[in-house]
Amino acid sequence: AQSVTQLDSQVPVFEEAPVELRCNYSSSVSVYLFWYVQYPNQGLQLLLKYLSGSTLVKGINGFEAEFNKSQTSFHLRKPSVHISDTAEYFCAVSEATQGGSEKLVFGKGTKLTVNP
Amino acid sequence: EAQVTQNPRYLITVTGKKLTVTCSQNMNHEYMSWYRQDPGLGLRQIYYSMNVEVTDKGDVPEGYKVSRKEKRNFPLILESPSPNQTSLYFCASSFSGTSGRAHTQYFGPGTRLTVL
The rounded distance, in Å, linking the Cα atoms of B43 and B34 is 10
Closest CB to B109 among A43, A46, A108: A43
- Residue A100's pLDDT band (cuts 50, 70, 90): low
* Chain B touched by A54 (CB under 8 Å): no
| Each residue's pLDDT tens digit, B60-102 | 999 999 999 999 999 999 999 999 999 999 999 988 766 555 5
The rounded distance, in Å, linking the Cα atoms of A42 and B72 is 22
Contact state of B45 with A103 under an 8 Å Cβ cutoff: yes
- Which of the residues A9, A52, A102 would you substitute to probe the B interface, choosing the one with the greatest number of B C-beta atoms within 10 Å? A102
Question: Under a CB-based contact definition with an 8 Å cutoff, are residues A54 and A69 in contact?
Answer: no
Question: Percent of chain A, pLDDT > 90?
Answer: 76
* Chain B touched by A67 (CB under 8 Å): no
| The pLDDT of residue B95 | 83
User: How far is residue A101 CA from its own chain's centroid?
Assistant: 20
Computed on alpha carbons and rounded to an integer, the radius of gyration of chain B in Å comes to: 14
